[in-house]
Structure 1
């Protein structure tokens, strides 16, 4: 599985059969796709913008579509690419996992009104093993492969609470920052995007209260 697919699984709540934090998860998955392409040598950094170091296909449909999107578009900063098309990315990753039988998705209506996706993870044990490996990179500062380092940094930065609690993220803030710096430009760009979302939410709450 590519990085976006693994992060989607990490974000799942297998017991409740749901995926919380969907409003920001698409952006986390976009950052994961960009990071995956960096790790594969397909993207490089050019003045805080992704450049196609190689347009040779990776063989992964999701990643190749992102690579093609970047190669044919005008130069944009990493932060812009993290937010761009984040909703379709979430749907695409979910559909891909369902197509390969990793998850099943059934739509129901919450309170009889609002459509909600009920997501069943078919191998919850494997997902939990992945979660523990990723947590170990952060909490135990265990040396991991490049892929595990990227998953840990992105899950922590994306504040996926199914992986790390807010308290754990605070306790290991310095190490998370080190991990983020090690995975390429998309990680720090995600941090800026998440901070921007939180600032906008705070402004809306306080503005509404006034």
Structure 2
């Protein structure tokens, strides 16, 4: 099960109706990768520290890239540090990868004289699986989708795994921190505009 890819698919599926902040999605994808790599036994969570394990290929290009990016020296990296480092630009990387493996197509949108390209999901088994997991309220995918802003609530099913809870809490905290940074920048920009106008 590839939760990171499923989350990227769900985000693209929801994009026309519910645009998502790329930074929020990137943080959630980085969290999903941790959980996928725990499942693949490529890493072990020791409290909130990510300890690399066997470096066996996962069969997924981006997860193998994530495995290669793990810090392999003590005291190792915290989950939060990983989210910020690995998450930088990760949403775009997943969109590109979905196109590379044929799960999306690019279509022209807009009217003349300006045309732009829009990425759309194709009908595929991967898309059906991802949307089914979300529709069934699978707790991990649902919680990550909520953290990324794709859903209002994380879902009703509880998560009873300490490692999953640690990752989900770190994703939630990081998304809130990113939102605080956005708000601070808006306030600073508004103040600068007022000074520029002479207010």
CA contact (8 A) 2:103 2:124 kept: no
**1:186 and 2:167 aligned:** yes
Partner residue, 2:195: none
Instruction: Give the distance between the partners of 1:25 and 1:12, measured in 2 at CA.
Output: 11
Instruction: Give the distance between the partners of 1:119 and 1:50, measured in 2 at CA.
Output: 34
**Aligned to 1:55, what secondary structure does the other structure show?**
coil
Partner residue, 1:144: none
**Aligned to 2:105, what secondary structure does the other structure show?**
strand
Partner residue, 2:176: 195
Superposition pairs of residues 102-181 of structure 1, within 5 angstroms: 102-105=103-106, 118-123=118-123, 127=127, 130-137=130-137, 148-160=138-150, 164=151, 166=152, 169=153, 175=156, 178-179=158-159
Change (3 A) 1:100 1:46: same
Instruction: Give the distance between the partners of 2:47 and 2:119, measured in 1 at CA.
Output: 40
Instruction: State the aligned residue count.
Output: 189
Greater gyration radius? 2
The unaligned stretches of length 5 or more in structure 2 are 192-199
Partner residue, 1:142: none
Q: What is the CA distance between 1:127 and its match in structure 2?
A: 3.6
Instruction: Give the distance between the partners of 1:92 and 1:15, measured in 2 at CA.
Output: 16
CA contact (8 A) 2:99 2:105 kept: yes
Instruction: Give the distance between the partners of 1:193 and 1:69, measured in 2 at CA.
Output: 20
Q: What is the CA distance between 1:159 and its match in structure 2?
A: 2.1
CA-based RMSD of the aligned residues comes to: 3.6
Instruction: Give the distance between the partners of 1:85 and 1:199, measured in 2 at CA.
Output: 20
CA contact (8 A) 1:106 1:118 kept: yes
TM norm structure 1: 0.71
Change (3 A) 1:94 1:180: farther
**Aligned to 2:169, what secondary structure does the other structure show?**
helix
**Aligned to 2:55, what secondary structure does the other structure show?**
coil
Q: What is the CA distance between 1:41 and its match in structure 2?
A: 2.1
The unaligned stretches of length 5 or more in structure 1 are 138-147
Q: What is the CA distance between 1:4 and its match in structure 2?
A: 1.7
CA contact (8 A) 2:133 2:141 kept: no
TM norm structure 2: 0.75
Superposition pairs of residues 8-157 of structure 1, within 5 angstroms: 8-13=8-13, 16=16, 20-72=20-72, 75-105=76-106, 118-123=118-123, 127=127, 130-137=130-137, 148-157=138-147
